Structure 1
Amino acid sequence: MNLQPQLLVDELVRQHDAVFARLHADLHEAVLESATRWADRFSDPAEMSGLTRCVTVRQTLLHMDTSRSAEAGLTMEMSLGQGMSVVLKDRAGHLVRVRKYPSYLLGKRTRAIRTPPPGQREAAEAVQLALDEGMAEPVFVLDPTRLPFELFVLWQLDGEQIGLAEAELAAVVAIDDSKTVRILATAPLPAPAKFVAPSDPNADDQSLFDDFGEFDGDAEETGNDPA
């Protein structure tokens, strides 16, 4: 098995843990807000089209990011991509887009992910550390512009179709092709962490929180999520 996708998503989550923890918190807020904003039109959130839901979440995430004051030390920057997509980019050139889990393409293959056997990932990481010694770049991290897959933060709705069930960083092949789409590797995002403005006297307190426990549950497919 080629472990490069798994090692890469694991490393990116570790390297950008603060960014992904904040994005996780923002996703909880944006997904819930997307349901409440349209509550007068869709009393049952499951009746909302996937396009409406996704566009609302994207716009909310982008607005949340641009409305904040500049934050020093961030390892990734968020920007507006084509089709009003949400794009994160790090200094190495890795591009990560934020998408709703493509259940309309993957269908029942929601968890059909070839994860490494027990011990294989750890062994590969140990080998990588040895090979990386004295080198400027990790051995398994390829040129981001030549990766044979794309990186996405994929999020899923909870069973009530109201809140966020989970979000993970994934290496995906052909995400928009129902015949060839594959998820090669995933790594869960860090626990949600609040955004703390630089002027806040408690700016050093980046403690995690779990205010979203009420939305825990298994995700269900909407059958209509084109984004």
Structure 2
Amino acid sequence: MAETIQQRLIEWSVNELWHNFHCPFQQNQYYIPYPHMIRKCYALSMNERGVLLDILSHLGQNEEAFPSQETIASNLGISESTVKSAVTTLEQKGFIKTVRRRGHVNRYRVNNLENNPYIAYSEAAHYFLRYYQPKYVKKSLIQSVIADVIHSEKYALHARRLREVYRSTVASDVPYPDLAYDIVSELLLDIRMKLWEEKGIQVSLPIYSDFWQYAGLYLKSIGFEDGDECDWDEYLNTGDEEDPTQGQ
């Protein structure tokens, strides 16, 4: 069976003999998996995506990366000030955690990306675009509105609240799945309203059952049955990791 383009690209990345024969001075071997949820995340600018990808590519077995900002800037062809700005916003959005050590290069840890609220916002927006965008409207026009809403201070506050509820070991007044649904629904309503008020575009919205179909599948996948109470502290990784560099 013929190799797929994906298989050939992986072979190209890891096969040293192939590399040396076709490009004897090439030093950039290897590859990393890079989910489309990150590559297409509306909450990340191009520079933020680039910096996050470069940090991911430097991760070691201890799940830390410590490229200097100069190295990241050189790899991406951007300035160190741009890298510094991107690192700051990636921290604010919960994608990475920086461990700062006086006299040493900063170390970066990548947080639980699968639980990042901004990725949830973005995926909901992609779902909205795919199934509810009017066919006569250009995606770029709607995408600009989506980005404005997701980057607003309102959704920064929502993201912080979601992270706090997710990580908390104390029972919340609103279960995490309910809170996530409420915030995502509010996000889509805000996008819809902004499209109407600023662009004169009227769109429909995903129906309630769409979300709970997938929420139910997720809850079932982690062992919940109908009627069970969600103990997120027991089933999900909610604790802070200890900082091995403390006291050094």
Q: Scaled by the length of structure 1, what TM-score is found?
A: 0.32
Report which of the two structures shows the higher radius of gyration computed on alpha carbons: 2
Query: Which has the larger helix fraction?
Result: 2
Q: Scaled by the length of structure 2, what TM-score is found?
A: 0.30
Larger RCO (CA within 8 A; separation ≥ 6) = 1
Query: Which has the larger strand fraction?
Result: 1
